[in-house]
């Protein structure tokens, strides 16, 4: 067991290392002088010097990389070129809304997608199954920002049930928080629900063919016990896997959703950073989201090993 944990943990290190190498090289290997790329063609010599100094661009490449990695290890992600504040401080100010949105979307996904997928597999080929499949293709096809605007115009503008845009932190009360997070979370979750319900259905269809499901039914167990206790548990691995790999997609969706609903989170921060060519900030946000992605997938992998002894011995 410990052997498996250590092995899995060691595999995550080269992945993160490559992410770091990649964002490092992206700036340095883009054709042109990195300082000019960032500052723009009209930059003064002094501005260019500041940027070169800030990013250590005068050193040889390998030296730059070693210094940069060393700083990362010590938790120093650099300083924003625009506001001159440490990028981690800027990220810290904006991460709350993003995490709330991502977690709310994730909860909505599990709440809707698992029952939908299970029911679709249960009524395989019937009307309900087809409805779930059609919904899932729709969820994949309608972009998040379109879903967002449809939700705004129906629930906020026409029915006036919820506020149009904006964000209130949880600390200002549960009701205002939920009122404002619900629509963006639903817009964001739509594609995720499509993905997870589809995978749940596929995985359940396979498990429902198994002998032990027939046995469970034959001994007269309640159908919902068969479906949710026996089948869903055994169908869990592919579902969890897609929840984990879908996280990268979720973050991409967050960037767009925050823009539609005017939520002051990391997504808005990154878009502003691009427009200002604030590369240290973009770099840090990429490293951070990639780190979270790797961590979530690591935890999911470890959870298989905890719940399913077969995984440990592979």
Partner 1 sequence: MTDMISVRAARARRLLALPRPGWLTVAAIVVLALIVLAGAFAPLLAPFEPTELNSMMRLKPADATHWMGTDSYGRDLFSRVLYGARISMIVGFSTALGSLAIGLPLGLIAGWFPLADGVLMRIMDGLMAIPGILLAIAVVALTKAGLVTVIIAIMLPEIPQVVRLVRARVISVRNEAYVEAARLLGTSSTRIIWRHLLPATFGPMIVQGTYIYAAAILTEAALSFLGVGIGTETPTWGNIMAEGRLYFALTPSLVFWPAVVLSFCILSINILGDALRDSLDPKMKARG
> Does 133 engage in binding with partner 1 (CB under 8 A)?
yes
- The residue with tokens 């969890």 is 240
Contact string (CB under 8 A) for partner 1, positions 29-48, x = contact: -x------x-----------
CB neighbours of 240 closer than 8 A, spacing ≥ 6?
300, 303, 304
3-state secondary structure of 51: helix
Whether residue 19 contacts residue 286, with contact meaning beta carbons closer than 8 Å, is answered with yes
Among 185, 227, 239, 270, binds partner 1 (CB under 8 A): 270
> Does 11 engage in binding with partner 1 (CB under 8 A)?
yes
> Does 259 engage in binding with partner 1 (CB under 8 A)?
yes
> Does 83 engage in binding with partner 1 (CB under 8 A)?
no
> Does 274 engage in binding with partner 1 (CB under 8 A)?
yes
Q: How far apart are CA 187 and CA 258, in angstroms?
A: 11
CA-CA-CA-CA dihedral for 79, 81, 93, 20, to nearest 10: -60
Which long-range contacts does 136-142 make (Cβ < 8 Å, 24+ apart)? 136/193, 136/194, 136/195, 136/197, 136/198, 137/194, 138/194, 139/190, 139/191, 139/193, 139/194, 139/195, 140/191, 140/194, 140/195, 142/190
Nearer to partner 1, 118 or 290 (CB): 290
Whether residue 246 contacts residue 310, with contact meaning beta carbons closer than 8 Å, is answered with no
Write the DSSP assignment of 159-203 as a string of letters. Answer: S--S-SS----GGG-HHHHHHHHHHHHHHHHHHHHHHHHHHHHHH
Minimum distance, C-beta of residue 107 to partner 1, in the bound complex (Å): 20
30 DSSP assignment: S
Minimum distance, C-beta of residue 149 to partner 1, in the bound complex (Å): 6
Candidate ranges 22-30, 107-115, 170-178, 305-313; the one touching partner 1 (CB under 8 A) = 22-30
Q: Which helix (H) or strand (E) holds 4?
A: helix 2-29
> Does 157 engage in binding with partner 1 (CB under 8 A)?
yes
Nearer to partner 1, 13 or 225 (CB): 13
Question: Cα-flanking dihedrals φ and ψ of residue 123, to 5°?
Answer: -100, 40
> Does 269 engage in binding with partner 1 (CB under 8 A)?
no
Count interface residues toward partner 1 (CB under 8 A): 56
Minimum distance, C-beta of residue 158 to partner 1, in the bound complex (Å): 11
Candidate ranges 23-31, 74-82, 93-101, 213-221; the one touching partner 1 (CB under 8 A) = 23-31
Minimum distance, C-beta of residue 153 to partner 1, in the bound complex (Å): 7
Contact string (CB under 8 A) for partner 1, positions 180-199, x = contact: ------------------x-
Residues that bind partner 1 (CB under 8 A): 11, 14-19, 21-23, 26-27, 30, 37, 133, 137-138, 140-146, 149, 153, 157, 198, 201-202, 205-206, 245, 248-249, 251-252, 255-256, 259-260, 270-271, 273-275, 277, 279, 282-283, 285-286, 289-290, 293-294
């Amino acid at each position: 067991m410990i052997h498996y944990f250590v092995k899995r943990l060691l595999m995550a290190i080269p992945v993160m290392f490559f992410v770091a190498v990649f964002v490092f090289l992206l700036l340095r290997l883009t054709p042109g002088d990195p300082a000019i790329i960032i500052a723009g063609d009209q930059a003064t010599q002094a501005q260019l010097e500041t940027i070169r100094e800030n990013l250590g661009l005068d050193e040889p490449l390998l030296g730059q990389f070693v210094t940069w990695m060393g700083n990362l290890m010590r938790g120093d992600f650099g300083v924003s070129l625009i506001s001159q504040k440490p990028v981690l401080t800027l990220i810290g100010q904006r991460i709350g809304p993003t995490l709330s949105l991502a977690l709310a979307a994730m909860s909505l996904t599990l709440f809707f997608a698992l029952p939908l997928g299970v029911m679709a597999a249960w009524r395989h080929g019937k009307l309900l199954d087809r409805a779930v499949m059609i919904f899932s293709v729709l969820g994949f096809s309608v972009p998040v920002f379109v879903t967002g605007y449809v939700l705004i115009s129906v629930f906020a503008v026409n029915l006036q049930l919820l506020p149009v845009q904006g964000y209130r932190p949880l600390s200002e009360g549960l009701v205002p928080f939920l009122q404002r997070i619900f629509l963006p979370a639903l817009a964001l979750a739509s594609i995720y629900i499509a993905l997870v319900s589809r995978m749940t259905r596929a995985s359940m269809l396979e498990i429902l063919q198994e002998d032990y499901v027939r046995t469970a039914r034959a001994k007269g167990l309640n159908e919902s016990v068969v479906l949710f206790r026996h089948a869903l548990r055994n169908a869990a691995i592919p579902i969890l896997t897609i929840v984990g790999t879908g996280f990268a997609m979720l973050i991409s969706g967050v960037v767009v959703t925050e823009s539609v609903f005017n939520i002051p989170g990391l997504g808005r921060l990154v878009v502003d950073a691009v427009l200002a060519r604030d590369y240290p900030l973009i770099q840090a946000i990429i490293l951070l989201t990639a780190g979270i992605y790797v961590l979530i997938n690591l935890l999911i992998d470890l959870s298989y090993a905890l719940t399913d002894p077969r995984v440990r011995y592979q």
